[in-house]
Amino acid sequence: SRSPKSALNGESRKIAIDTVISLLWETGRDQTLAQFAKEYLSGDEYKVTMCRLSERQAHYPDAYACWNNLGHEDRAERTIRTEAALRILGTE
């Protein structure tokens, strides 16, 4: 059984990782965020972070596939609609 101290350390570590992820996202440091996520995140947390990065970097086919693979069909469709709207507006 885990001691309360180790549980606190695990929770503190998660809070620290989440804080760094948020700061990197908010400051637009995408390459550093991708590297940090690869090292410190796993599973769906990692995959969602990478999907969000693809979307933000306007890699719409990659973002669509990423969200679709996670089963987030609404998010995948929104990615395609965003790309289409940007093309219509001539900004893409």
What is the pLDDT, as a whole number, of residue 15? 94
Q: How confident is the model at residue 10 (pLDDT cuts 50, 70, 90)?
A: confident
What one-letter code names the amino acid at 39? E
Q: Degrees (nearest 5) of the Cα angle 66, 14, 74? A: 25
Whole-structure pTM value: 0.81
Least trusted range by pLDDT, from 5-9, 21-25, 51-55: 5-9
